[in-house]
Structure formats: C-alpha cells, structure tokens
Amino acid sequence: MSALEEMVRPSLARIVAPGDGYAPDREEYWGSGFFIAPGWLLTCAHVVGKGGAAVWRSGNAVGVTWQGGKTTGEVVLAKPRPEEPDGARGSWRFPDIALVRVRGADDAPCVWLSDRAPTIPAQVSLHGWSRQTGDLGMRHGIGEASALDGKALLLTGQTPVEGVSGGPVVDLRHGAVIGMNKGRGRHEGAAVPITALRELYDVRGGEILHTVMGEHDLHHLDRFNDPAAGADWTRAQTRLRGPGAQGLDPGLRVRLYGHFAHLPPPGGPGEVMHLVHEVKSRVVQEDYRSPIEHDPRTWREGAGLLHGLRDPGDHGGRPELALDAVLLYAAKVARQSALDHPAGLDRDRLRAFTVWITEQATLYARQAIREDIDALLDRLPEETLRTPATVVTVAGPTPAGTPSRARADVLVDVGEPVYGERYPLSVKLLYDGQDVTPLYSNDHGVRRDELHQYLREPLAEALRLGDRGEHLAAVEAFLPRRLFDVPLDDWRLGADDAWDDADLFDEQSMPLGLRRVVVIRDRRRGTRPPSPEWRRRWAGVTGRPLSAGPLRGEATAQGHPETGRPEGRMAAYGRLSGMDDACVPVHCGPVGSGPGLDAMAAALAAGHPLVLWRRDGHDHDECREFHLRAGQLLGLSGGAEGLHRQVRELRIRVSDPDTAEGLVGDIAVLFDPPDRPPHGTEPMQPPLMAAPDT
C-alpha cells in the first residue's frame, strides 16, 4: 500500500442496515463512508437513503462498521432530503451529501479535507467498500479528476465501482481528500467535490459544521504533535512537497488551522472574502479581485484561497507571496474576531495566537508585511485581551482602508421579455458601486410567476457573499417597468413554513424588505447615460427634507383619482417636470399597467429618482390615509438615504397585526440614482417602531 492508502483505510467505514451482528457476509450493505472528525462520518445522501423513512426520523438508524468497531449512527445533516420522509426514497441530485454522527467512534483516524476547490486535472485515488468481486472488501483505484463544473467532479480512468459510493477521492499530488465517490456512467465517473460541504451550512442545524470542522483541524494538529500516533496526513503532505519547497508548509498550516479552530466562526462568506480581497490587494500591490466568486464558510477556507497566491505579472512565480498573504490574513482574522466577539473569546488562546503570528512573521514575512501585522496586533493585548468586564467597552477604530459597509450589494437584473413572455435573469455582486461579478444567469428566461422560484437560491447565495458582519447587502432590482409591482421586498428565501412556525422562525426566514434595503430601479433608463434632469433631481433629494406630490394628476385631496379620463402622458410629463426637485411622486395603486404605468413613464422621463407607490389591492377610502402617511414618511427621512430606514420600519409595522392597525402598506420604492453610491454604509439598527406621525 502507498502511504496515502495506508492512512485512508482506517478512516473508511461501511454503511449497513442497523442491527446486531454486523458480519460482512450477512449484513445488508448500503455503501461507504469516511471519518472527517472524531465521531463524524461523511457519506452520500443516497447511501443512507437506502434505509428509507427511518433514516430521516430522529434516532439512530444507520449501521456503521469501521476498523475500530461497529455501532449505529444518526444522520444529522443531508442534502437533498426526500420531500416526504415516509414516501419515496428521493431523487439524489447533487450535492448528494450526508453527515452522520457516530457516537463511540472518537478514536477513529480521520482524513484530511482540502481547504479549497481541487486543481484540475488531478491524479486521484478512489477508495471504498465493494462487493463487485464477490466478497465485501476495501477497494482502491487510480484515476483522474478531469473536470469540475461547480457541482460535480468528473472522473476518468478507473471510475468508481458499485459500492464505493460515499468513499473518499484523494488528490495524490497534495495528499488531501478533494471529493466523494457518487456513481458512474458509461465512460466516466462522478464525484461530489468536498467544497459541497458548504451547502450543508445552509440547511437546518447546519451550524454544527463549524464544530465538526474545528474538531477536524484539532484532530490533525494532535496527531502531528504526537509522533507516537503513527502515520499522519501532515507529514505525508510534507514528503509530497519535497525538500526545499517554499511557501506555506503543511506543518505551519496545521498549526494555523488549529488556532482558527478556537476562534468564533465567521458570520458568513462575505466576511471571509472581504479579508481575502484586502490581503490580495496588499500583497500583490494592486486591486486583486478574482473574477470567480468563492463561498467560504470557515477561516481555514480563506487561507486556502491564499496559500497558492502568485503575482499575475510574475510568470516565474513568487512563493513567498503566499506565506506573506496567509500570515497577514491570520492577523486580520485575529483582530476581526477580537473586535466582533469581545465577550465570547478565550483570551489566553487569542493571546497565544497573536504571539504565534508575530513569531512566524518575524521568521518568514517581508518587512512591509511584518509592519502591517504589527500594526494590526499591537493594540490587542492591552485593549482586547483584558477581563470580560472591561473588554466590552472597547470597539476600536476601523483599520485604515477598511470600508464601513457591506462587502458587496446584490444586483438582480430582469431583462425585457424574450420568446413570448419569458424574462431573462441574472444575479450579480456589485462592489463599491463599480466592479461587478456575475453569479447566476438564465438567458432562456422564465415566466413572471416563476421569478421567485428561479431567483430564490441564487439570491440567497449572493446575499451570503455580500453581507459583512452587521452590514447587510442591499438588493437592487433592475426591472422592466411592467414588473415594477413584483413584490421583491416581500420574498422569503428560507423554508416556506418558517415564517409561521415559531420553532423555525429566524432572521433568514423574514421577507427581504424587513431586514434589508430593497429597491427597484428602471432597467431601461439605466442602460443610457444619465440625463441632466435625472442628475439635477438626484442632487435635489440628497441631504434635504423631502415632500410628497401625486404621481397621477387626477389625484385629489382624498388621494385617489376621480372617475373620468386619465391624464395624458405628455400632460403628466409637464406637471411632473414642474415639481420641486425635492418632491417625490406618490401613488396609491400599482404602476406596472394602465394609467399608473403611463404616469411612471412620465416621472422617469422627467428625471425623478424616487417614487413611492402602493401595489396591493385596497379600498379607495384608504388612499387619503396612504398619501398622508407617505408625506410624513418622506418628511422624516431627511433625504434619499434616510428613506431606507423609514420604509423598513413601516414594513415591519404593517407585517404585524398588532401594530398594523391604521396603517396602509405593501409599499414599493423606486430608488434610482444616476451615479449609484454604495449602500450599506450604516450597520443594521433595531427599528424605532414609532408611528410615522409621532
């Protein structure tokens, strides 16, 4: 056996039907699995799914046999899960991954999980149990990971045989598990990339993965520190690198990840990627933004994006850049953790981490990076490592060059209809109001009633990547005018039943507009250079009190149009052009069709960047109250940027029957600046919950 195979074998387990007497020749064999942390096993969802409904109920329903014993395990996380646990076994599409808790297996050796997406092509070894040759036994083969499409890792050469589903795929060059066997077709096999673990963070209970990954890293650190433990992954990886290799060596890496394991986890991928981008820009000395957006959920994955860093202008490569980058990133993580979690840190461990970073920087980092690291860490011992009674008073200034806003905002772009009534879609991240990274597109288009269905998952992913700590990404929807009444701010991205279930309700299950800035922008106007009227009116609504005026000229003091012929488009344009620059058109009704659409078109032509309207059905006698409340809301906002909080508070009040009495809601906002400034410059604050007229 090779050294890697020798280390993989004790980590392998076979998944069987639960029961007594797991004799290999008699047990009902389901598939393979492998330990990733003490007592934690990874396998395919379709493997444990062979147990039917019992697996998806609470309790131990999965038999597990490994080199050190046999017991039953419990499926803690899985994706996908059958929609009906008591029904069919489900459709096992990607990611096809399950995490099993195996109590009593704390001594089982664990594999080393790669901290980044695999480098393709890669020579790999495939491992698992199989009965293909008759007897149930361990199988091992060599192949090549030939392609990665984001969801699937394609395998050629020796492809998975029946039964090895759920077993590990090992990168032979780097000595790390990069995937999990899923199945095979006629000419190639398929594996689940290990980065699919990220998808489990988003299912109910997914936060347990932070604990599991921390235990994974501490397990490997313990084995590295104990020469009597036998073969370990870190030493094997060192041998694979060869003598004289530069950059972040495996011994340094396992110690770094051990320190990360004792820190509170990042709040989301946006926090990690924000620090990664800062480090890349500093070390490479340019605005180094990758065209590929990553979705890291742990501090170790952020380091994984840096330890192969190269200067794009230096084709010879400079391995020392990677070590500089990782050490600077570690210092930023330590500081960020200290400032974000002053009362929840183990101060002795944090102090040990900062000392370790300083020592490594003294040994390995260039002088400029050492100075950056010293500047980041110098203040922590006296300000952050004090007793809990005093540390909570220290917030510390934002480091120079760190913006106080979300990492990125989210652009939802819905195009004009094609192929009849199908709207093409895209979701992008917008950094600093300028740089754009695409995340999702559907050029074929979807029907209007399918918008929520198709945008739900990519929008949730984009928001995770855009959020940074208490600064939440805004949602800007560039829409055709006939879609202005789509209730984007009322969409929920979590489970459908979470909003009404107290056991499932959390901040992620709320409608978007109750937590975030959600605004509509005119797609047509946004494709052309801004007109002088548009620029002038934007200046007029910035930093000064706002007032309300009717969007439709037929509106009366009671707030709704009288019966009779609607105002013509050019007449509306003339009237709206004559409004004061700080006057915001308001309408008690929808604007995506009929007279409301004509009036909205006139307002846009007249340069208005702000419009408020009510898109829901209502009685006419409510319109006077709506116009009154809208005028009060605009007056309290103090300008365009202050409008966001006022609208959010109104939406919160309207959404609760106990506070909605006397209010009129389902308010929509056109917020369409000609030169878009970044949103998210203020952290989330609790709503004032005061009535608009107080």
208-212, 296-300, 618-622: which has the minimum mean pLDDT?
618-622
Report which of residues 80 and 682 the model is more confident about.
Answer: 80
What does the angle CA 215 – CA 169 – CA 21 come to, to the nearest 5 degrees?
70
Q: Which burial class, exposed, middle or buried, applies to 91 when counting CB atoms under 10 A from its CB (0-12, 13-18, 19+)?
A: exposed
Residue 543: DSSP 8-state: S
151-160, 322-331, 365-374: which has the minimum mean pLDDT?
151-160
Predicted local distance difference test score (pLDDT) of residue 19:
76
Alpha helices (H) in 125-249, listed in sequence order: 197-200, 208-225, 233-241
147-151, 205-209, 396-400: which has the minimum mean pLDDT?
396-400
- The answer, yes or no, to whether residue 33 has pLDDT greater than 80, is yes
Please check whether residue 328 is in contact with residue 288, taking contact to mean a CB–CB distance below 8 angstroms.
no
pLDDT band with cut points at 50, 70 and 90 for residue 399 = very low
C-alpha–C-alpha distance, residues 296 and 275, integer Å: 12
C-alpha–C-alpha distance, residues 249 and 357, integer Å: 15
Q: pTM to 2 decimals?
A: 0.82
Residue 432 backbone zone (phi > 0: left; psi -120 to 50: alpha; other: beta): left
pLDDT band with cut points at 50, 70 and 90 for residue 620 = low
Mean pLDDT score, 357-361: 95
Please check whether residue 443 is in contact with residue 424, taking contact to mean a CB–CB distance below 8 angstroms.
yes
- pLDDT tens for residues 547-560? 999 998 876 555 55
Is residue 13 helix, strand or coil? Answer: strand
C-alpha–C-alpha distance, residues 273 and 429, integer Å: 12
Q: Which of 632, 636, 591, 638 is nearest to 611 (CA)?
A: 591
- pLDDT tens for residues 272-290? 999 999 999 999 877 667 7
- pLDDT tens for residues 64-74? 999 989 999 99
**Which of 120-134, 194-208, 280-294, 544-558 is modeled with the greatest confidence?**
194-208
Where do we find the tokens 């540390």?
391
Where do we find the tokens 């090779």?
2
Predicted local distance difference test score (pLDDT) of residue 693:
45
pLDDT band with cut points at 50, 70 and 90 for residue 381 = low
| Cis amide prior to 95 (ω within 30 degrees) | yes
Structure tokens at 647: 């609208």
Q: What is the 3-state secondary structure (H, E, C) of 404-447?
A: CCCCCEEEEEECCCECCCEEEEEEEEEECCCEEEEEEEEEEEEC
**What is the DSSP pairing of strand 40-43 with strand 97-101?**
antiparallel
- The answer, yes or no, to whether residue 292 has pLDDT greater than 80, is no
Structure tokens at 213: 């990954």
- The answer, yes or no, to whether residue 61 has pLDDT greater than 50, is yes
Residue 191 backbone zone (phi > 0: left; psi -120 to 50: alpha; other: beta): beta
**What is the DSSP pairing of strand 610-614 with strand 583-587?**
parallel
CB atoms within 10 A of CB 265: 21
Mean pLDDT for all residues in the chain: 85
